Amino acid sequence: NGVPSAKLEKVENILKPLDLGDDDYRKVMDLMHAELVKGLTPATHEAADIKCYPTYVRSVPDGSENGDFLALDLGGTNFRVLLINLNGQEVKMESKIFIIPQHIMLGSGIQLFDHIADCIFKFMTDHKLTDRKLPLGFTFSFPCRQEGLDRAILTTWTKGFKCAGVEGNDIVQLLHEAIVRRGDMKNVKCLAVINDTVGALMSCAHSDRKCAIGLILGTGTNACYIENLDDVKTWDGDTDEPHEVLINSEWGAFGNGGALDFVLTDFDRSIDKHSINPGKQIYEKMISGMFLGEIARLAIERLRKNNLLFEGEGSYHLSTRGRFYTKYVSEIEGDDVDNFTVTKQIFEELELVTHNEQDYRLVRHVCSLVSRRAAYLASAGIACLLNKMQRKEVTIGVDGSLYRFHPFFHDLMMEKTRALTDAQISFKMMLSHDGSGKGAALVAAVANRLL
Ligand code: ADP
């Protein structure tokens, strides 16, 4: 479309490293498989990038779960308290968002859990539940080493939390101590801690028994899957039927030991260098919502500095780290190429002065390269799990704004996962609805039945 070939060649050279081939994705799968096995083996667990923590969740719901349950959801965008009524396939839910003020996010663990207990009490008072005996499920989406369904030791705070005296401790015990300090909530007992991946899996499994993988594509990325106990060498629980346990892979940390260096671009290295956790969560930094916009921005800036975009003229916003949001990537890719209305609007928000149709097309191309690489890398992870599990039919329960709102993420993932997965395995991807609330209630219900 009238672009001189010398310019095209320069553009191509700058963007080529973002365009990986199937050989690369297959290598990612092999390396991930090796890391999963390392994580599941006591002698190599410490050194493994992918920790593969057993969750102590042993089965998916069977649809007979009944009754009222409380749930807490901490570690997503909002802190919520929920009341969930399960009745066969019917699920009723009421919830309230509570604010966790900055001074509590950075205060002491005691303050945090006292605040959480206060919120539970307020919620119960509002819903006239204070004299009911209610089992509670806690979706706590921070990396934890679990020692039981109701024992979760926080390994490290992430996502802006840094409360003293919690890392290395059992969060259920801290919650119960706060409940005891209040003295007026004796009937509330936390039966289970899960993370958001387990919530996504459980909530989808409630309506689809074939669901065996939970995937998060939001601020971060992580996945859990059902593993055979024989392959979980780190397992110290009982070996009753079903001979399986859900494994929280914490796969976002893949690449921490350098395994992904062969696919990193200058853009990825720059993001890592300027992050709050350099050298950590390498796979996550190539895939998740917290980073995709920034990868695109760095590529756009590189093109602009080479006079290949906007006639070389940038803006303060475009040179500001984090200012090109991941939602722009979705919006630009979803824009109508006949008029680029949304793209123009975004360029105006960024206070770019000089732009024409060639720029719209090229920026859209950059966005599509960045999101395609992310979707394909996530697909390599899913294909690796599918090939490892060797179940004939698997449903993947997915949650997170990136998957939910990007116009092509689902299609890209279906296509590449199909290409990388053994031919005899069939799979589908299903959006999880309120997995963090519903999943916690379902796990609490199963635990309550076994009491
Ligand atoms: P969390 O993972 O914290 O529970 P979300 O699933 O809502 O929350 O994910 C938030 C992330 O999703 C943010 O990093 C944000 O950049 C990204 N995001 C929000 N809207 C969109 C969108 N329209 N397209 C792609 N990514 C989005």
Residue 1: pLDDT band (50, 70, 90) is low
Percent of the chain with pLDDT over 90: 89
For residue range 178-209, list pLDDT tens digits in order: 999 998 888 899 999 999 999 999 999 999 99
Find out whether the beta carbon of 98 lies less than 6 Å from any atom of ligand 1.
no
Which residues touch 424 (CB under 8 Å, ≥6 apart)? Answer: 392
User: From the CA of 51, how far away is ligand 1's center (Å)?
Assistant: 24
How far is the C-alpha of 204 from the C-alpha of 206, rounded, in Å? 5
According to the model, what pLDDT value does residue 2 have? 65
Centre of ligand 1 from the C-alpha of residue 431, in Å = 14
For CA atoms 44, 47, 49, 51, give the dihedral sign.
positive
At 359 the pLDDT is 97
Q: Which atom of ligand 1 is found nearest the CA of 77?
A: 3
Q: For ligand 1, atom 7, which residue shows the shortest CA distance?
A: 401
For residue 159, indicate whether it is catalytic.
yes
pLDDT at 31: 98
> Given this model, what pLDDT does residue 276 score?
81
What are 379-401's pLDDT values in tens digits? 999 999 999 999 999 999 999 99
Residue whose CA is closest, atom 6 of ligand 1? 400
Encode 187-205: b = buried (16+ Cβ within 10 Å), e = exposed: ebbbbbbbbbbbbbbbbbb
Domain boundaries, the chain: 1-54+208-433, 56-194
- Where is average pLDDT lowest: 4-8, 79-83, 123-127, 342-346? 4-8
Phi and psi angles of residue 20, each rounded to the nearest 5 degrees, phi first: -90, 160
Residue 126, H or E segment: helix 109-126
Query: Is 158's pLDDT higher than 90?
Result: no
400 lines ligand 1 (CB under 6 A): yes
How far is the CA of 174 from the CAs of 37, 76, 111, 151, 381, in angstroms? 32, 20, 11, 10, 34
Report pLDDT for 256. 96
Pocket lining: 405 vs ligand 1, CB cutoff 6 Å? yes
Mean pLDDT on 35-44:
98
77 lines ligand 1 (CB under 6 A): yes
Q: Is 356 left (phi over 0), alpha (psi -120 to 50) or beta?
A: beta
76-130: pLDDT as tens digits: 778 999 999 999 889 999 999 999 999 999 999 999 999 999 999 999 999 999 9
Q: Is beta strand 188-194 parallel, antiparallel or unpaired with respect to 244-248?
A: unpaired
Which residues contact residue 439 at a Cβ distance below 8 angstroms, ignoring those fewer than 6 apart?
137, 139, 194, 196, 198, 199, 200, 201, 202, 203, 432
- Establish whether residue 159 lines the binding site of ligand 1, counting it when its CB lies within 6 angstroms of any ligand atom: no
- Check residue 156 and give its pLDDT: 87
The one-letter code for the residue type at 66 is: N
Ligand 1 lined by 54 (C-beta under 6 Å):
no
Q: Which among 325, 326, 328, 368 is the best mutation to test ligand 1's pocket, defined by most ligand atoms within 8 Å of the CB?
A: 326
Q: At the topology level of CATH, where does 1-54+208-433 sit?
A: Hexokinase; domain 1 (3.40.367)
Ligand 1 centroid to residue 307 C-alpha, Å = 31
For the complex shown, is ipTM > 0.90?
yes
* Assigned CATH for 56-194: 3.30.420.40
Q: Which of 196, 272, 399, 434 is the catalytic position?
A: 196
Residue 161 DSSP class:
-
pLDDT confidence bin for 63, thresholds 50/70/90: confident
Q: Which of 328, 335, 401 to mutate to test the pocket of ligand 1 (most atoms within 8 A of CB)?
A: 401
DSSP symbols for 307-327: TSSGGG---TTTTSTT-S-HH
What are the tens digits of pLDDT across the range 425-441? 999 999 999 899 999 99
Helical spans, DSSP H, in 208-356: 266-273, 282-287, 292-305, 326-334, 341-349
Residue 155 phi, psi dihedral angles, 5° rounding? -85, -50
The Cα–Cα gap between 376 and 227 comes to 23
Instruction: Tell me whether domains 1-54+208-433 and 56-194 share a fold.
Output: no
In the predicted model, is pLDDT for residue 226 greater than 80? yes
- Average per-residue pLDDT for the chain: 95
| CA–CA separation, 50 and 281 (whole Å) | 10
Q: What's the sign of the alpha-carbon dihedral 141, 147, 153, 158?
A: negative
For range 233-261, the mean pLDDT = 95
pLDDT above 70 as % of the chain? 99
pLDDT at 76: 74
Residue 75 in contact with ligand 1 by CB distance below 6 A: no
Q: Does the beta carbon of 402 sit less than 6 angstroms from any atom of ligand 1?
A: yes
Distance 72 CA to ligand 1 centre (A): 20
DSSP classification of residue 233:
T
* Cβ of residue 330 lying under 6 Å from some atom of ligand 1: yes
How far is ligand 1, taken at its centre, from the CA of residue 325, in Å? 10
pLDDT score for 205:
95
